[in-house]
Amino acid sequence: MTVPQGLRSCLAIAGSVLTFALLIERAGLLPAVIATVVVASLGDAQRRMGRTLILSVCLAAAVWLVFVVLLDQPFSAIRGF
């Protein structure tokens, strides 16, 4: 059974928001952003996991740089560290 592309995209975006909400306090900022990008990429039928992982790591680094370093927000990069 295949899911229509429009529904698949909507479910992936909703799932990525939920993933971020569940992981930001439990795992920290970097794992939450990486998992969010990976879950959101599931909405694309032609995704490439290698590109997705590179994008997620680069985005996580950029988010950390902007929010933690430049804006001095009290986010834990990785929970426990």
The reply to whether the predicted model has a pTM over 0.85 is yes
- Residue ranges of domains in the chain: 5-70
Q: Using one digit for the tens of pLDDT, what is the confidence trace for 18-75?
A: 999 999 999 999 999 999 999 999 998 888 999 999 999 999 999 999 999 999 999 8
- Can you give the length of the chain in residues? 81
CA atoms in the 13 A half-sphere facing the CB of 78:
5
Task: Please give the DSSP secondary-structure letter assigned to residue 64.
Answer: I
